[in-house]
Structure 1
Amino acid sequence: MDSADSTAGTAPAGKSVGTCLPPGDFGVVLATLRARHGWSVREFARRANVSEGQICNLESGLRNPSPAVAAACDAAFGTGGELVELAGSGRRDARTDDVVEAGSMITGYERVLGELKGIGRSTGPRFVTASMKSITRTLTDAGQHAVGEQHADIWLLASKFAEYTGWMAQEAGNTAEALRWTNLSVRWGAQGEDETVAAYALVRKASIAQHRGDTYAAIGLADQAVRHPSANPVIRAHAARRAALSHARRGDAEACRDALEQFRSHAAEITADRPPHWGPRIENGSPHLLEASCMLSLRRFDLAAGLFATELGPAVPADSNSRARFAVRQATALAGVGCLHDACRIVDATLPVIKLIDSATVRAELARFVEEARSRRASPGQLALINASAALATG
């Protein structure tokens, strides 16, 4: 059995249906299991011998599963009859006017969001995007019928799903889709009575602008985020980080240094009782890794290489995306100081991960390594690795 299949879970109404299923109703469980297995909708539909349309309708909550379809899904996942049992105990009208067990639904979907984020960081956008979108449709449908606190809570959760869906769209290289989902997160966050998402969305837009090469726009958006009336220390720290990286890309060392100092100042203000969290956890990172990344963009390769060598072990988060991104940055710095052997060794070990996660932002880092490495004298073996990296960087 796949290790992902051993996770305990509960049915929507709090009834245990066994030890294999994640939490949620049938559609959420289906989406989560599919994401854990790394199957696209098409692949799962093939394995279950049902149509792709049926899978999408089930995951989005638009349709209830028939006993035959539930059994087919159960067989595909090898869940030993638990999906059949869940389908029988959890049938409901897909577009009811009442939000039943809204508290349980919100708690369950919050857990699912955390799990999908973990999968996205480790395997890339293609394994989670469909699940994110289908769950978002379920939440927005439920939000239209909810009242009181349930109304705000559901829309706020939909906003969180939209924000991360936008990030996955950026990772997939689709800037327009990333902006669309980011704007939806702002709209739904307002319906959830949380204005901080509007401030954080400016940081997200700054990130999108930076990755498409528009550093002037990125700096302007980061400045707007810092000055937004709903910005908290977490958001201001994110904005200062984005500004520092953008100033470095422009070659403005003094402005970069000022932004780095602002990042440290805002990060020091973060407390445990801060408002609802948006974006990566600032306190899990290292200011020195940010400084190393800035030194790399400023082409101060010796400083960057030294900082990466000191900080990479203890400071890099465990997810594959972060490890790959910082590893390639370290390799670029090493190539810049002429240590092409060490640089190629790092990239060679990282290429399988880059292929797996298929991240546009990591491929952009790989392209920077290729550009720097090609300016150095390479052996035939190193040249072959550089060429393989170039092919992967172009997608």
Structure 2
Amino acid sequence: MTGAAFGRELRRRRTQQGLTLGELAELVHYSRSHLSKVENGHKSPSAQLSRKCDAVLSAGGALHALAPADTPPERDTGPAPEAPGYTHAHWNLRLYSDGSGIFEIGEAGAPAVTEVPQPAPTSTDTLPGLAVLFEETKRLGRTSSPSLVLPMAITQAHVAASSARQSTGEDQRRLLRHAARTAEFAGWMAQECGDDRGSLWWTDRAVMLASAAGDEDMTSYALVRRAVVSLYRGDSSATTGPTEQVLADDAIHPRIRWLAALGAAQGYAIGLDHAGAMRALDTAASLFDQAQRLEGDEQLGPSAMHGRPLLIEAWCQYDLGNLAAAAALFERAMSRPLPSDRDHARFGTRRALVYAALGEPDRASELIGPLLDVVRSVDSATIRADLRDFARTITRFRGHRGTHDIQAALMAALAKR
């Protein structure tokens, strides 16, 4: 779909409401010349602009639906340059279902450097050690590149599943449940690496392992995880469908339903359904107290709950085109430090984007500048998606000193690894 249909409908709705092109430009914080090109079909609107125009003209999503879909950037699948000091480009670790494996250097099928024998039956002391390793891996996941963490999570999921096969009874059930949690975490790290297909594969693997342990919470949570993948693809219906399915079942754990409500709110927001988004946020608020009381030590979803509903509401307001409301909510939510570098980078980038969209480039640059080293460190594909939106928005203000000062660091943070 081209932008011609959007441009025609934009002009029709603008003139119907008695707005000049200049007046609309002031309301959406874009230049008059840019809007003229969009109306004439010479330039396609960004998703951000189409949402703003839809909100300002009270189109209820009908205008935004005519906008061409944003084309996601292609991933660089070429080989990375070999690091100094390494003489072999390929390290292969082959893991088998019985717990054995081989480690090879070079192309697949090269002579094994190390062979891992099949383990002996697992002792009851295995799980505590695996749990400690997993907690440290999750801690790394909050501060480091997912490319560093994903291989650890995959290996731990394999070790826990293999240990379960060597166990029986309650020990086996607990090991399978732990394997499911590590597989789900691997799926999240895969998504952070920009690999949606791998993310969904690991999520399905987590469901299989959890079901074998008699734990059905993971099946429900997997619907929420799938919805999150759809959310980052900009697919409103594929986000709200699974989350509403979870919300409709009162037997599902309240923490999972709370996460589903927050996901549903974001799904409705990208579909410009204000009523749906507010209703889902109200549902999340009603579930919050129950959601804090998760039975057992293992949690599904983010470890930090406080402050998250306000941050999600702020982002919903941005997607709905209510920029001033979004800015005010971000200021409230980020008045105290966030619990992890990854959250700081994610929501800090979104706050800066709101100010750029508001036409306040100096404030936006002031906010994004100190974050760019953190964004590079956590190396998240989902955060870079928001940062690309920021970069596209801030280019409208090239003449500002603050915008000029952050350009080099901004390009470095956006560069593919």
Q: Is the 8 A contact 1:367 1:393 kept in 2?
A: yes
**Structure 1 residue 391: Cα displacement:** 6.7
| 1:1-395 alignment runs, 5 A limit | 52-53=91-92, 62=100, 94-96=117-119, 98-99=121-122, 101=123, 103-228=124-249, 231-272=252-293, 274=295, 277-281=299-303, 283-314=305-336, 316-317=338-339, 319-376=340-397, 378-379=399-400, 382-383=403-404, 385-386=406-407, 389=410, 392-393=413-414, 395=416
**Structure 1 residue 228: Cα displacement:** 4.5
Q: Deviations over 1:331-372 (max 9, x none)?
A: 111112222111112212111111121101100111221233
Which protein is richer in helix relative to its size?
A: 1
**Runs of 4+ displaced beyond 6 Å:** 42-45
**Structure 1 residue 299: Cα displacement:** 2.1
Which amino acid is 1:117 matched to?
Answer: K
Distance 1:379 1:230 in 2: 54
Distance 1:137 1:353 in 2: 31
Q: Is the 8 A contact 2:372 2:409 kept in 1?
A: no
Match in the other structure for 1:18: none
CA distance 1:230–1:105, change in 2 (3 Å): farther
Q: Deviations over 1:134-155 (max 9, x none)?
A: 1222222121221100110111
Q: Deviations over 1:171-194 (max 9, x none)?
A: 000000000000000000011211
**Structure 1 residue 304: Cα displacement:** 1.2
**Structure 1 residue 56: Cα displacement:** 6.8
**Structure 1 residue 274: Cα displacement:** 3.2
Distance 2:387 2:116 in 1: 49
Q: Deviations over 1:14-45 (max 9, x none)?
A: xxxxxxxxxxxxxxxxxxxxxxxxxx9x9899
Distance 2:135 2:234 in 1: 30
Distance 1:286 1:262 in 2: 14
**Structure 1 residue 253: Cα displacement:** 1.2
CA distance 1:265–1:172, change in 2 (3 Å): same
Distance 1:293 1:246 in 2: 11
Higher mean alpha-carbon deviation, 218-227 vs 264-273, is at 264-273
Distance 1:107 1:283 in 2: 25
Q: Is the 8 A contact 2:269 2:320 kept in 1?
A: yes
3-state DSSP of counterpart to 1:173: coil
Distance 2:304 2:402 in 1: 39
Distance 1:267 1:130 in 2: 34
Q: Is the 8 A contact 1:226 1:239 kept in 2?
A: yes
Q: Is the 8 A contact 1:340 1:378 kept in 2?
A: no
Distance 2:332 2:186 in 1: 34
Which amino acid is 1:304 matched to?
Answer: A
Distance 2:402 2:307 in 1: 35
Distance 1:273 1:167 in 2: 20
Q: Deviations over 1:221-259 (max 9, x none)?
A: 111222346521100010010111111112111111111
Distance 2:229 2:403 in 1: 32
Q: Deviations over 1:121-173 (max 9, x none)?
A: 10121111111111222222121221100110111010000000000000000
**What is the aligned-residue identity percentage?**
27
Distance 1:61 1:131 in 2: 16
Distance 2:378 2:304 in 1: 23
Which amino acid is 1:285 matched to?
Answer: G
Q: Is the 8 A contact 1:301 1:333 kept in 2?
A: yes
Which amino acid is 2:305 matched to?
Answer: E
Q: Is the 8 A contact 1:285 1:315 kept in 2?
A: no
Contiguous gaps of at least 5 residues in structure 1: 1-39, 66-91
Which amino acid is 2:242 matched to?
Answer: L
Distance 1:206 1:382 in 2: 35
Which amino acid is 2:364 matched to?
Answer: A
CA distance 1:368–1:235, change in 2 (3 Å): same
Which amino acid is 2:191 matched to?
Answer: Q
3-state DSSP of counterpart to 1:313: coil
3-state DSSP of counterpart to 2:194: coil
Which amino acid is 2:317 matched to?
Answer: M
**Structure 1 residue 311: Cα displacement:** 1.9
CA distance 1:391–1:251, change in 2 (3 Å): farther
RMSD value over aligned CA atoms?
Answer: 3.1
3-state DSSP of counterpart to 1:123: coil
Match in the other structure for 2:108: none
Which amino acid is 1:295 matched to?
Answer: Q
Greater Rg over alpha carbons, structure: 2
Which amino acid is 2:198 matched to?
Answer: E
3-state DSSP of counterpart to 2:165: helix
**Structure 1 residue 268: Cα displacement:** 2.5
Distance 1:63 1:364 in 2: 37
Match in the other structure for 1:74: none
CA distance 1:237–1:386, change in 2 (3 Å): farther
Distance 1:165 1:205 in 2: 14
